[in-house]
Structure 1
């Protein structure tokens, strides 16, 4: 008997019908739908219909391949495209980190009402990000490459806290670390190469948002990305990589809400 394939998807409907566009949230590497729960509820309270999901092999979404490492970048982008096509009218898409990379690639051939890149993988791919991790945790990176297992990087609660959160974030990082899972090494390696990200051909408004305490990407990389995409840029002070789980997540939502109402609607 063929094994059933499950996709974890969550939809939050607004209390009252309105003219606000729906919003789709796309998580990054090692994460899953769970990372959006609090953020999505707060965004929904602003009146938005909010959709979020888990990529294949993440959270409650099952694999339809033998291994997560068998998935390619194009397959992740196709999975995202399918989720976008399910939503009518077309959503504004918010992509975090690797999710921002998937969104950038999607926009090379397709158009959206709007796109928000949160602490996204920058224009030149993940090479600088991996180098940054390697300088901070050289043995961990070498072990991850030799074992061909990306989850080695986030298997320590203390290390995941350093990578993803600001020092004063009260998040229960031990709990969130247990929710982290493996990531496709094939995709992480594909994202290393310059040329992965090309100019967006269609006129989709883009908004780049990052934190100035991010240890995965950097403010100069986000500034360069915004300039390359002709996008609005906001840097939130005191915030680290997982912006949707940082103390100022409501401030982040206010930035997004204002941008949508001033730019998209």
Structure 2
């Protein structure tokens, strides 16, 4: 039997690319969307799932199990971008971002673990971000939510290892997706002390996404991990300098690394 894969956020962007690629490789793939009916031409089967709603998560997993009898791989891909000066980002938006990027994946994992224990097998891949390895100016909330998911994975995988269940992270850099369109942007406020700097950084962020690499690179990495008997804890995929920035953070003094970031963002 082919492996059964569930991908949250499978209707567009990286999730869509992963789903179509794995489907071509012979996997039985289920993607998720809050509104599957909006994607009648989807090349993979979409089930309704809202990562901010535990009842919706439970129902989606039940649907997959009833349809295919198992879930071999879960890819926590659903996520949301957020930008803005931390001082000016509304608390409700901060909470909403953590609900999607951190609590959502945690609840998906909690919901699927009983089935994977029953199977005595499972693989959970959490899609994080290279931004989660460092606090980036005007992307601090996003960095924090993705960084928290990286650490949750480290702890979780030790707790579930006895059940023959693996968990790993994949941290993408900038890829050409529609994340910028769905990102919450704190408005550039006229007269704000952050107006000039944030406005320039916001334009730079969007330009990087628009000119990013093809998300098929992430799909290839996911495929490689699924076929790896004992996956590593962390994987990074993206442009060389984006991945190298993590190495620099590890070896450079904090203030020198901070200066490099500030120079990069022209702050």
TM-score tier (shorter): 0.3 to 0.5
- Using CA pairs under 8 Å that are at least 6 residues apart, name the structure with larger relative contact order, 1 or 2: 1
> Normalization by structure 2: what TM-score?
0.42
State the TM-score, normalizing by the size of structure 1: 0.42
Task: Name which one, 1 or 2, has greater alpha-carbon Rg.
Answer: 2
